[in-house]
Amino acid sequence: MPEMTFEVRWPDDSAQRCYSPSLVMHDYLRTGANYTVAEFLDRSSRGLTEASNRVRVKYGFDCTSAADTKDRIRNAAKKFPLDAVITITAMHPELEQS
């Protein structure tokens, strides 16, 4: 299963690298896109849940790394108002444009 990372720039200009066990995060986030903290929490949580579900289907167990990533994102987000803006600065690997 192809894994990936995505990078977030928080409102205080701090950066966080996040892990996903699946490229499905490309369905939820875009490089260069801005999201409110609330929207990012929702999108990243749904994407990481789907990624973990894909691991369960393939291997028979949830991905604990995806759960850890969700926890780290939630903990980082607590520092900011829900209407503050974050930016997705990178997604590795990028999807090829068709």
Q: What is the pLDDT of residues 77-93, one digit of tens each?
A: 999 999 999 999 999 99
Q: Answer whether residue 98 is part of any domain.
A: no
Residue 95 — pLDDT band, cuts 50, 70, 90? confident
Q: Are 48 and 25 in contact (CB under 8 A)?
A: yes
Number of domains in the chain: 1
Domain extent, residue 44, equals: 4-92
Q: Answer whether residue 97 is part of any domain.
A: no
Q: What is the pLDDT of residues 8-60, one digit of tens each?
A: 999 999 999 999 999 999 999 999 999 999 999 999 999 999 999 999 999 99
SS3 86: strand
Q: Answer whether residue 76 is part of any domain.
A: yes
CB atoms within 10 A of CB 82: 11
SS3 75: helix
Residue 75 — pLDDT band, cuts 50, 70, 90? very high
The pLDDT value recorded for residue 97 is: 59
